[in-house]
Amino acid sequence: MNADEQSLTTRPPLRVAVIIGSNRDGRFGPTAARWFVAHAEQRDDLTVDLIDLAETPLPTALTKEPPAEVARVLAGLTGRLDLADAFVVVTPEYNHSYPASLKAAIDWHFTQWQAKPVGFVSYGGLSGGLRAVEHLRQVFAELHAVTVRETVSFHGAWARFGPDGHPHDPADCDAAAKALLDQLAWWGEALREARDRQPYAG
């Protein structure tokens, strides 16, 4: 084993925060997120933290001094985002864009996203949530994050999963999940090394 191979085997796994962006009643997000997390947890190079924004309610009005309850929620969420080396956002498409709950969580933070990769799992009707993803790419670019090219998209998502939480035809979406995770792991490792060498100048 050469030095590079030995270094790869001794590095700690990348910490990936998978964020369920919707907080609506009857949402499909947890189904898609649990399916994706099961794929990610099969890999030795990743550890996963599943963050459900329905459990971390944040107001859309950003205040200099958040109220006590908001500060409490922020303390827990911010710490988890700080620890993450990479993110996967699970988002629906609402009116050609993404939910307000997700925008609030993004906007209450800044440095937590910097110089880290972001992947997307989207779902919806005919568009499969891809218009929401395109908007999110612009938002995360402004926050100095790197969005990966590959996505997982579920068109007509509610009809594509069975009551057991698994897709009826898994081959295509399984392949898409692997491609996304491969790219996320590459960027996650590259950016972690860069941050370790020198703090990001954001």
Of residues 58, 46, 52, 79, the one with CA closest to residue 187: 46
Q: Which residues pair with 94 in a beta bridge?
A: 97
Assess if residue 2 is contained within a domain.
no
Who contacts 174 (Cβ-Cβ below 8 Å, separation ≥6)? Answer: 39, 167
Per residue in 65-97, pLDDT (tens digit) is: 788 888 888 889 999 999 999 999 999 999 999
CATH of residue 111: 3.40.50.360
pTM flag (> 0.75):
yes
Assess if residue 118 is contained within a domain.
yes
List the structure tokens of 27: 């949402």
Q: Would you write out the chain's pLDDT as a tens digit for each of its 202 residues?
A: 555 555 555 789 999 999 999 999 999 999 999 999 999 999 999 999 999 999 988 888 888 878 888 888 888 999 999 999 999 999 999 999 999 999 999 999 999 999 999 999 999 999 999 999 999 999 999 999 999 999 999 999 999 999 999 999 999 999 999 999 999 999 999 999 999 999 998 7
Assess if residue 26 is contained within a domain.
yes
Residue with tokens 């799992």: 121
Assess if residue 5 is contained within a domain.
no
Beta strands 117-124 and 14-20, pairing class: unpaired
List the structure tokens of 11: 């590095």
Assess if residue 97 is contained within a domain.
yes
The number of domains in the chain is 1
Assess if residue 8 is contained within a domain.
no
Answer for the pair 160, 168: CB distance below 8 angstroms, yes or no. yes
Assess if residue 181 is contained within a domain.
yes
The C-alpha atoms of residue 103 and residue 169 are separated, in whole angstroms, by: 32
List the structure tokens of 195: 């941050």
Q: Supply the DSSP string of 113-163, one letter for each residue.
A: GTT-EEEEEEEESTTTTHHHHHHHHHHHHHTT-EEEEEEEEEETHHHHB-T
Domain limits for position 171: 13-197
The C-alpha atoms of residue 17 and residue 49 are separated, in whole angstroms, by: 5
Q: What is the DSSP letter of 65?
A: S
Assess if residue 164 is contained within a domain.
yes
Rounded-to-5 percentages of helix, strand, coil across the chain: 45, 20, 30
Chain Cα centroid distance, residue 70: 22
The C-alpha atoms of residue 133 and residue 93 are separated, in whole angstroms, by: 8
